[in-house]
Chains A and B, each alone.
Chain A
Amino acid sequence: MSAENHHLPPRIKLIWGLSALGSFIALLIITGLIWLTYRYWNWPFWLVTTFAAFTILEPIIEAALIPYRYRFTRYQISAAAVEMQSGFIFKKRVAIPIARVQNVTLNAGPLLQWQKLTKVSIATASTNHGIEGLELAEAEALRDQIMRLAREARHDQA
């Protein structure tokens, strides 16, 4: 069943890019600290080179995967269920019936807030599923829709 198959908002790519930059900075700091241990405590030098290599490679890979990540992450909502799909090399697809949804949480870090985006996490009685970023208005509408459908679904069962 293919109701509407949505992509995430394109601005999410910017966020992912910035977070790759963020991990580069964090790794750079760690590498710097390790260089200090080499300089003053005579820790082995290969530790520094390993970390430096990792610092360069990890953000590049993270950034290079952004278009791929964007292209294959999708979600869709029908009257009965929320479905999410991600990945191509390792494709995952999950179905969460609206009737099982316990609560929907929106949360956004500073970057997402700045771009007026928000993360959505949908919790059932035992599992948690997240959409990485949605337009704030869209997310709120989605939350209200899911919660309304969930109320109705629960009503039907009784």
Chain B
Amino acid sequence: MTKPKRTHPLGLLLHMATAIKDYWYLFLLLLTLYRQPLWFALGWTLLIFAILIWPIVRWATLSYRITPEAVEINSGVLVRHHEHIPYSRIQTVQRKQWFFLAPFKLEELVIETASHDDNKPEAGLAAVPTSLASEIDRYRQATPTPAAVTPTEPLDPDSAASAPSATTAATAHYRIDNRTLLKFAITSTGFIPLLLVLLAMYNKIPRKWTDAFINDASHLAIVVLVGGALLVILVAWVAAFMWTYFRYFHFDVALRDDQLQTAKGLVQRNTITAPLKRIQAVRVKQNVFRQWLHIQTVQVLLASKAAAKDDSDDLVILPAVPQAQLYDVAAPFVDLLPDHAPDLSSLSVTDRRKWYLVRNALLVVLAPVVIVGYFLPHWWWALAILVAIAYFQGLFAARQTGGGLVTPTLLALQTGHVWTKETYYVPVETIQSVRLQQSVWMKKKQLMHLTVNVRHGNKNQAIELRYLRAEQAQRVYDWYLHTV
């Protein structure tokens, strides 16, 4: 392939969809301007330009070329970009296939490179043949990674010669079964933000309507109120369920050579390939609902931006695994995971130290409760619920906090923020720094906060365990200093 190629015209649709997603508020703005013809016309021109002409121009100027050494992407209208991505610099390849692209054997390709000082470390091709990804894959396998990127891996000239034949068989493979997926989708906490949006919309309903309604049905007031609330919750919850279910439909993960590949989704099939050596830590996550159903999520924290647009910023490798099987299922994929549940009692918040966490949780809600309580005293019941939630959140955090050394070079840390238990497995090589904090009052009581910093995407993930006993925290600190 020598001539640069354009992406498929269907890619244009995707460009436009993104433009609409980015500029839909312009449309709302337009609706408010209908009284001023001049601004109205100007607004329409702007809108048409933003969602129609600009994407067309962008599409027409975008071209790509695959050579044995690199992927080349030319783009830009006024400023021409010529991007040259050697295969060895590719970190992750993400493939997204909308259902309407499948019959045409097309997909969207996002190539992420290692340069992390760049604002935009990825290159996207909106609609390209599916064969392109496998071609890139073949070339990537053929190119040995340079020593600068993997200091631990010896360069093997033989592997370079033998690899390009075909993709090797997966060494580990897992596909979610429908029952677990259903459980996973039912317990999605995505309904909470949705609920807030619906509540905000409820507030926007003109007072006249609700008042008239309440007058008409005053004898049914309680029933209507409770029924309405339940309905809103149900709507939000069903929406969150559908969203999660379609997103994680037929979730599939495989380990090939040193690449993890996950595929998921029904409406849009999303395939991510990520190198194992970029893994900084493993996170096992479980919200309180999933605790009741005994399912857990396994994510990996990557030192790259690949999964940044994935929900909660991490590459999910196992969305839902029954708790009992977790370590059997997950260990083959990530070798740093232990093969059984570790003992996390050596770092813990027990006895009366848990009341500090309860106190802090209550302090967080104190200000809003006082302010709202002053202006809207008849909302006391909602405030009471809020205080109760904060109180139990404190207890929850205290109960979940834990950690300890799994092996001499692997630290496990567990936290309980926002009703979610998170267990991190962090090898000592990827801990960037460790920090201890202690106030004067904590010194008297022999307490300390411990923060472990790990790279996550292009940012920092601080894992903080609060109100540990000073000697426990100090032991982790000393272990870190002596092991590195």
Residues of A within 8 A of B (CB): 1, 80-81, 83, 88-97, 99-100, 124-127, 129, 154, 157-158
A-B contact sample (16 more), CB < 8 A, given A95-B435, A97-B484, A126-B459? A1-B481, A81-B481, A83-B481, A88-B440, A90-B438, A91-B436, A92-B435, A94-B433, A100-B431, A124-B433, A124-B453, A124-B455, A125-B303, A126-B432, A127-B432, A154-B151
- Is the pair B432, A100 in contact by a Cβ cutoff of 8 Å? yes
User: How big is the B interface, by class?
Assistant: 20 to 34
A80-B481, A80-B484, A126-B432 known; A91-B453 Cβ under 8 A: no
Q: Give the Cβ gap from B484 to chain A, nearest Cβ, in Å.
A: 4
Q: Give the Cβ gap from B468 to chain A, nearest Cβ, in Å.
A: 14
Convert B449-461 into 0s and 1s, putting 1 for each residue whose CB lies closer than 8 angstroms to a CB of A. Answer: 0000111100111
Counting from the closest, the 10 A-B pairs by CB-CB distance are A126-B455, A126-B460, A97-B484, A124-B432, A94-B435, A158-B151, A96-B433, A125-B455, A93-B436, A91-B438
Q: For B303, what are the chain A residues with a Cβ–Cβ distance below 8 Å?
A: 125
A88-B440, A127-B453, A158-B151 known; A93-B435 Cβ under 8 A: yes
- Is the pair B434, A94 in contact by a Cβ cutoff of 8 Å? yes
Residues of B within 8 A of A (CB): 151-152, 303, 429, 431-440, 443, 453-456, 459-461, 477-478, 480-482, 484
Q: Give the Cβ gap from B466 to chain A, nearest Cβ, in Å.
A: 13
Closest to A155 in B: B151
Tell me, in angstroms, the Cα distance from A64 to B380 when the chains sit together: 44
- Is the pair B152, A157 in contact by a Cβ cutoff of 8 Å? yes
B432, B434, B481 — which one has the most chain A CB atoms within 10 A of its CB? B432
Q: For B152, what are the chain A residues with a Cβ–Cβ distance below 8 Å?
A: 157-158
Closest to A78 in B: B481
Closest to A96 in B: B433
Tell me, in angstroms, the Cα distance from A89 to B461 when the chains sit together: 26
Closest to B432 in A: A124
- Is the pair A127, B481 in contact by a Cβ cutoff of 8 Å? no
Q: For B454, what are the chain A residues with a Cβ–Cβ distance below 8 Å?
A: 126
Q: Give the Cβ gap from A135 to chain B, nearest Cβ, in Å.
A: 25
- Is the pair A92, B436 in contact by a Cβ cutoff of 8 Å? yes
- Is the pair A91, B460 in contact by a Cβ cutoff of 8 Å? no
Q: Give the Cβ gap from A126 to chain B, nearest Cβ, in Å.
A: 4
- Is the pair B484, A90 in contact by a Cβ cutoff of 8 Å? no
- Is the pair A127, B437 in contact by a Cβ cutoff of 8 Å? no
Q: Give the Cβ gap from B335 to chain A, nearest Cβ, in Å.
A: 18
- Is the pair B432, A125 in contact by a Cβ cutoff of 8 Å? yes
Tell me, in angstroms, the Cα distance from A127 to B478 when the chains sit together: 20
Tell me, in angstroms, the Cα distance from A158 to B478 when the chains sit together: 24
A90-B437, A100-B433 known; A126-B453 Cβ under 8 A: yes
- Is the pair B433, A95 in contact by a Cβ cutoff of 8 Å? yes
Q: For A127, what are the chain B residues with a Cβ–Cβ distance below 8 Å?
A: 432-433, 453, 460
Q: Give the Cβ gap from A95 to chain B, nearest Cβ, in Å.
A: 5
Tell me, in angstroms, the Cα distance from A65 to B453 when the chains sit together: 29
Q: Which of A81, A94, A95, A126 sits near B461, CB closer than 8 Å?
A: A126
- Is the pair B433, A129 in contact by a Cβ cutoff of 8 Å? yes
Q: For B435, what are the chain A residues with a Cβ–Cβ distance below 8 Å?
A: 92-95
Q: Give the Cβ gap from B477 to chain A, nearest Cβ, in Å.
A: 6
Q: For A96, what are the chain B residues with a Cβ–Cβ distance below 8 Å?
A: 432-433
Q: For B440, what are the chain A residues with a Cβ–Cβ distance below 8 Å?
A: 88-91
Q: For B438, what are the chain A residues with a Cβ–Cβ distance below 8 Å?
A: 90-91
Tell me, in angstroms, the Cα distance from A39 to B478 when the chains sit together: 61
Tell me, in angstroms, the Cα distance from A1 to B461 when the chains sit together: 27
Q: Give the Cβ gap from B455 to chain A, nearest Cβ, in Å.
A: 4
Q: For B437, what are the chain A residues with a Cβ–Cβ distance below 8 Å?
A: 90-93
- Is the pair A126, B481 in contact by a Cβ cutoff of 8 Å? no
